[in-house]
């Protein structure tokens, strides 16, 4: 029996990288997937891959920061699959710069995608989760639901040159810890995964060029310098950068019944790296 049979999992930013790997993993364990991404084409491709492997999926393209996105995403899950069991706030990107270099626009963009959007999605999910919980309680059943917020070691420790991103990812830890206290009585486990260095589009080498993406009207250069990447990799106790699948496995631990008594935690998935 798959571990997540009959559960419905919502994953933002599920078209590529860690979100894609996690969506595939959750689907392989029997969950119905509701996935979103800014980019419609890779989102459709991930959706098709889930179906090819025998899973069920609904997709919603668009930015998590759009007004009304949270309500539409929650409605899609309820209408297609009749419930919400797992919410993974994964959509995000880096917009680098020291504090001195950071504009108001840049900080606002990072806060909107990493704090405001997860908050709005969780707020929109609150009423249906409460209703489902009350029904289950009346039936004498204890059903756990899962929130996994995807943060970063930039958020736990701060990284020079990543001011807006680090600040926003630290904010998401605040969301996690507070919601753990507010939603515990609804039997919702709220946890956070802080990644170290994972090999995705975010960490491509800047020197290879061509990694400028257009997000919400801004031209943003993703990637890391060779020097930063190599120096960081040299400090990883397990000796190398993690894969998207390994990163997804770390988040998966908070989606399964074995973590039902774990809440309010920030777990670093970094090959042992700490800052
Ligand atoms: N890769 C790492 O080393 C690392 C480290 C720490 C934290 N993270 C976090 O992990 C998460 C996943 O990143 P990844 O490394 O897989 O990167 P990625 O770029 O491969 O995937 C991120 C996905 O999120 C989508 N996205 C970005 N902004 C969005 C928006 N506003 N609305 C909807 N979708 C949006 C992108 O289109 C992309 O498909 C992010 O929150 C990132 O900050 C990654």
> For the chain, what is the domain count?
1
Dmax (CA) of the chain = 59
pLDDT at 210: 65
Residue of 34, 89, 93, 243 to mutate, ligand 1, most atoms within 8 A of C-beta: 93
Q: Confirm whether 84 is domain-assigned.
A: yes
Q: Are the CB atoms for 144 and 189 separated by under 8 Å?
A: yes
Q: Confirm whether 236 is domain-assigned.
A: no
DSSP secondary structure code for residue 241 in this structure: P
Average pLDDT, the chain: 97
Q: What percent of the chain lies above the pLDDT cut of 70?
A: 100
Beta bridge partners of residue 205, listed in sequence order: 224
- Using the atom order of ligand 1, give the atom closest to the CA of residue 242: 3
Torsion sign across C-alpha atoms 70, 76, 82, 84: negative
165 is known as an active-site residue: yes
> Model confidence over 181-217: pLDDT tens digits?
999 999 999 999 999 999 999 999 988 876 899 998 9
- CA distance linking residue 100 with residue 97, whole number of Å: 8
Q: Confirm whether 221 is domain-assigned.
A: no
Q: Confirm whether 42 is domain-assigned.
A: yes
Q: Confirm whether 235 is domain-assigned.
A: no
- CA distance linking residue 181 with residue 191, whole number of Å: 11
Q: Residue 165 half-sphere exposure, CB side, CA atoms within 13 Å?
A: 22
* Full residue range of the structural domain in which residue 12 is found: 8-199+243-269
Q: What is the mean pLDDT of residues 78-90?
A: 98
User: Which is catalytic among the residues 93, 165, 195, 252?
Assistant: 165
Q: Confirm whether 227 is domain-assigned.
A: no
Q: Confirm whether 181 is domain-assigned.
A: yes
Q: Which of 34, 52, 142, 45 is nearest to 90 (CA)?
A: 34
Q: Confirm whether 174 is domain-assigned.
A: yes
- CATH code, domain carrying 15: 3.40.50.720
């Amino acid at each position: 029996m798959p571990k997540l049979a009959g559960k419905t999992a919502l994953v933002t930013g599920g078209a590529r990288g860690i979100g894609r790997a996690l969506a595939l993993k959750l689907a392989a364990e029997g969950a119905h997937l509701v996935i979103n991404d800014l980019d419609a084409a890779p989102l459709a491709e991930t959706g098709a891959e889930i179906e090819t492997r025998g899973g069920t999926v609904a997709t919603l393209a668009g930015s998590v920061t759009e007004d009304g996105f949270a309500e539409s995403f929650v409605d899609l899950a309820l209408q297609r699959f009749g419930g919400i069991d797992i919410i993974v706030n994964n959509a995000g990107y880096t917009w680098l710069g020291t504090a001195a270099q950071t504009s108001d626009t840049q900080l606002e963009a990072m806060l909107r995608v990493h704090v405001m959007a997860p908050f709005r999605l969780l707020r929109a999910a609150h009423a249906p989760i409460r209703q489902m919980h009350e029904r289950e309680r009346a039936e004498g059943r204890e059903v756990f639901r899962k929130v996994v917020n995807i943060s970063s070691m930039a958020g736990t420790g701060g990284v020079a040159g990543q001011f807006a991103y680090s600040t926003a990812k630290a904010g998401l830890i605040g969301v996690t810890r507070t919601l753990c206290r507010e939603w515990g009585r609804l039997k919702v486990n709220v946890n956070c995964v802080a990644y170290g260095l994972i090999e995705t589009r975010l960490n491509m080498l800047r020197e290879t060029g061509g990694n400028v993406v257009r997000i919400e009207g801004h031209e943003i250069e993703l990637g890391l310098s060779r020097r930063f990447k190599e120096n960081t990799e040299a400090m990883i106790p397990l000796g190398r950068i993690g894969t998207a699948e390994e990163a997804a496995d770390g988040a998966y631990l908070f989606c399964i019944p074995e973590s039902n008594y774990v809440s309010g935690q920030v777990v670093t998935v970094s090959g042992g790296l700490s800052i």
